[in-house]
Structure 1
Amino acid sequence: MSDENKMILVAQIGGAFGVKGEVRITAFTADPMALMAYQPLLKADGTQALTLLSARPDKAGVVARVKEIATKEQADAARGQKLFVPRDRLPEPEEDEFYLTDLVGMEARDLDDTAVGTVKSVQNFGASDMLEIAPREGGPTWYLPFTREAAPELHLKDGWLRIVRPTEVDERDEA
C-alpha cells in the first residue's frame, strides 16, 4: 500500500446522542473538531462511512449531525464503527513528530545493526503502543513495546529503527 493510500483511524462512532439522530463520535485526533476538515470519513476499506453536516465539541470528541443517519435507532446501530481518512488528507507532522502508521514497513535492526524484521503493524491493546514485528527469516510475528528502551533509535527518513529484542524472543530463536 502506498503512503497516499494508507488509512488512518481517526474516530469511532459511540452511538446516539439524544433522540433526533445525532451521533456521539469519539475522536482520536488532537483537535476533535478537525474531523470536519477530514471529510468524508471512511470505512477501513475506503468506502464512505459518514459525512458530518455539523459538529460540536463533546467530552470524548464531537456530537454530530451526519448525512447518513437520521434516527436514534440508526445511530445506535452504527455504534462501534471505526472511521478512517487517507494519510495524505492529514496535515504533515511537525519536525520530530510522526504518525504511528508511518512506522509500518520500516526495517527493524538489532543493536549489532542486523536486520531482524519489518514492522508489520502498530497495535494498542490498552496499555501502550506495540510494534508487531514480522521476522526476516519468516515464522510467527512478535510484539515489542514502542518505548524509548525497546526502540531507542528511529530513522524515519531512512526507513529503519533500532530495537532491543525481548529476552523471550532471543531464547525462542535459539531453541
Structure 2
Amino acid sequence: MRHDRPVNASESLLRVATVGGAQGLRGEVRLAVHTDDPETRLAPGTSLQTEPPAAGPLTIADLSHRGKHWYVRFEGVTDRTAAEGTRGVVLLAEPLNDVEEDAWYPHELAGLRAETPDGEHLGEVEGIRHLPAQDVLILREHTGERTLVPFVRAIVPTVDVAGGRVIIDAPLGLLAGSDVPDDEDPEQGEDR
C-alpha cells in the first residue's frame, strides 16, 4: 500500500517525510520517510511544502542514505541549531500521476461502508491513521464505537472505492460485540 498519503481529507498534498533530529554540526537531519520513492521525492533541488506551513517551504540541498536511514540538508539550514528548529516538521508534496494498484488516499477511504465478507453492515470508515507499525482504518461501528482496524490484506481484503465499500474480515475480538461467547471457557480443556 502506498505510504505517501494526504495528511487529511481536505488536503491534496502528500506526506512524504517527517524531520527527525539533527545529525552532526552542518545542518543535516535524519528523516522518517513516508514515501516508497525517497530518491525521487526528496531529490536535491526539490522544494516541499510543510506542516506547519510557517516552517516552509523547505528545499532539499543534499540527500543521503546510510544504513537504514535517510538524511537531508535543507538550503539555508547550515548548522545544528537551525537543523534542530526543523525537528517534527512534516514534508509535503503533490501527488504523482502514476496509479498504483492497492494505493488509496484518505479522502477516498473516508465514508466508505464497512461490511463483513458475508455482506453484514459493520459501520463506516472515518479515515486512516499512520502508526509506526502499520496503517489502521478508523472504523465507526454501527454501534457507535470507534475501532482501529489494521489496514492489512488479511483483515481488509477488499477496498472498492467505486462501489463505496470495504470488506473487513475481522478476527474474533477486534470489533465491538465480537468477544468469545460466554459458553466457551478458554481455561477449560477437553475431557480425557
CA distance in 1 between counterparts of 2:155 and 2:60 reads 43
* Cα 1:6–1:104 shift into 2, 3 Å: farther
Which residue identity is paired with 2:127? S
* Contact 1:133/1:144 (8 A) holds in 2: yes
| C-alpha contact 1:38 1:90 (8 A) present in aligned 2 | no
How many residue pairs get matched? 168
Match of 1:133 among 130, 139, 146: 139
Residue in structure 1 matched with residue 153 of structure 2 by the alignment: 148
Determine if the alignment matches structure 1 residue 35 to structure 2 residue 42: yes
The answer to whether residue 56 in structure 2 is matched with residue 49 in structure 1 is: yes
1:109, 1:160 within 8 Å by CA — same for their partners in 2? yes
Give me the whole-angstrom Cα distance separating, in 2, the residues matched to 1:7 and 1:128.
20
Shift of 1:20: 2.5
| Residue 91, structure 1, aligned to residue 96, structure 2 | yes
Q: What are structure 2's unaligned runs of at least 5 residues?
A: 1-5, 182-192
In the alignment, the residues of structure 1 paired with residue 111 and residue 53 of structure 2 have an alpha-carbon distance, to the nearest angstrom, of 20
Look up the equivalent residue of 1:31 and give its one-letter code: D
Q: Following the alignment from structure 2 to structure 1, what is the Cα–Cα distance between the partners of residues 114 and 55?
A: 34
SS in 2 for 1:75: helix
What is the alpha-carbon root mean square deviation over aligned residues? 3.2
Q: How far apart are 1:7 and its partner, in Å?
A: 4.2
Structure 1: tracts of 5 or more residues without a match: none
Q: Is the 8 A contact 2:47 2:60 kept in 1?
A: no
Closer, same or farther: CA 166–62 of 1 in aligned 2, 3 Å:
same
| Aligned partners of 2:55 and 2:86 also within 8 Å | no
1:132-173: per-residue Cα shift (whole Å, max 9, x none)?
101245x23002222223112221333321112343325269
- Larger % of helix: which? 1
| % same residue | 23
Name the counterpart of 1:157.
162
How far apart are residue 83 of structure 1 and its match? 2.4
**1:35 CA drift (Å):** 2.5
Once the two structures are superposed, residues 65-122 of structure 1 have per-residue CA deviations (whole angstroms, 9 ceiling, x without a partner) of 234x34311212332333233xxx1113435231453433322122332432222232
TM-fit CA distance, 1:38: 6.2
1:12 and 2:12 correspond: no
- Counterpart CA distance in 2 for 1:84 and 1:116 is 33
Note if 1:117 corresponds to 2:126: no
Aligned counterparts of 2:21 and 2:74: Cα–Cα separation in 1 = 12
User: CA contact under 8 A between 2:48 and 2:91: conserved in structure 1?
Assistant: no
Report the TM-score, using the length of structure 2 for normalisation. Answer: 0.69
Residues 15 and 77, structure 1, Cα contact 8 Å, conserved in 2: no
Q: TM-score, normalised by structure 1?
A: 0.74
1:66: which partner in 2?
75
Assess, with a 3 A threshold, how the Cα gap between structure 1 residues 23 and 127 changes in structure 2: closer, same or farther. Answer: closer
